[in-house]
Amino acid sequence: MGELRNTSVVKKIEPDSRTRDRLARAILEGGPASAVDLAKRLSITPAGIRRHLDSLVAEGILTSREPYQSAAALDSRGRGRPAKVFLMTDLGRATFEHSYDDLALSALKFIATQNGSNSIKAFADQRAADIENRALVALAKKDSQTSTSDALAEFLSDEGFAASVTTGATGDQLCQHHCPVAHVAAQYPELCDSETQAFSRILGTHVQRLATIAHGDGVCTTFIPHISQANQKTGANA
């Protein structure tokens, strides 16, 4: 009888564990998402998804917050309160990305040892160029009502960076709320530098990286000056 009870417990626990793993990985790879979006994506009932989300929050793997939205998005929603989104914590990232980080770090260390430190920059530039090429293809399909900054944010979100844009008086702030390579970039900042240069080429203007997850900040933040501001600065430096 004892064996039957143990088998029954295992059968109940394992599916839950696998579901929580799928749920956490969906957020890790796709960025912050609401319970409704996750339920649809994973074909889980709303009640079931909330039970697993509550469990992951209690374990410290996930946390929840109000979604970041542009002014245009807020206007389109009216005054209704947006649903909370769930995102990965630092503990969650460490739990799910540790093995991949170890492999990536080992590979980059090997490259540097075999070919010198310049090879790391070459790798970072190649990675950034790949992002740039795919972003340009995506931006070429944007409609006339979507700004280039918003289109870039949409592309980055599709890539797992959970990006958003906030518009200010002098420019836009592009925020990446998740970075799949944060722990690797902490040791090899060339990845962030090359990515920033790619953003500048994509947007056709100078940009400034203000914060990065790799350096311990909550989000990666890039300032994109309005074109007129960028032109004035260029003229002043001429």
Residues 109-146 have pLDDT tens digits of 898 888 887 899 999 999 999 999 999 999 999 988 99
Average pLDDT, rounded, for the chain = 81
pLDDT classification of 5: cutoffs 50, 70, 90: very low
In the chain, where are the structural domains located?
2-87, 98-237
Q: What percent of the chain has pLDDT over 90?
A: 40
Q: Is 104 left (phi over 0), alpha (psi -120 to 50) or beta?
A: alpha
The pLDDT value given to residue 88: 83
Sign, Cα dihedral of 100, 92, 125, 102: negative
Q: Which tokens belong to 157?
A: 């979100």
Q: Say yes or no: do domains 2-87 and 98-237 share a fold.
A: no
The CATH architecture that domain 98-237 belongs to is 2-Layer Sandwich (3.30)
Q: Which tokens belong to 193?
A: 């530098």
Judge whether residue 51 has pLDDT over 70: yes
90-104, 193-207, 215-229 — which is least confidently predicted?
90-104
Question: What mean pLDDT comes out for the span 214-231?
Answer: 80
The pLDDT value given to residue 179: 83
DSSP-derived secondary structure letter, 117: T
The pLDDT value given to residue 12: 35
pLDDT in tens, 11-23: 333 357 788 888 8
Question: What mean pLDDT comes out for the span 220-235?
Answer: 70
Judge whether residue 108 has pLDDT over 80: yes
The pLDDT value given to residue 82: 65
β partners of residue 41: none
Fold category of 2-87 in CATH: Arc Repressor Mutant, subunit A (1.10.10)
pTM (2 d.p.): 0.60
Q: Which one is predicted more confidently, 121 or 229?
A: 121
The number of residues in the chain equals: 238
Is the separation of the CB atoms in 21 and 81 below 8 Å?
Answer: no
Question: What mean pLDDT comes out for the span 219-227?
Answer: 91
End-to-end CA distance of the chain: 85
Distance CA 153, CA 175 (A): 8
pLDDT in tens, 151-177: 999 999 888 788 999 999 999 999 998
The pLDDT value given to residue 27: 84
Q: What percent of the chain has pLDDT over 70?
A: 79
DSSP string, 150-200: HHHHHHHHHTT--EEEEE-SSEEEEEES--TTHHHHHH-THHHHHHHHHHH
CA of residue 32 relative to chain centroid, distance: 8
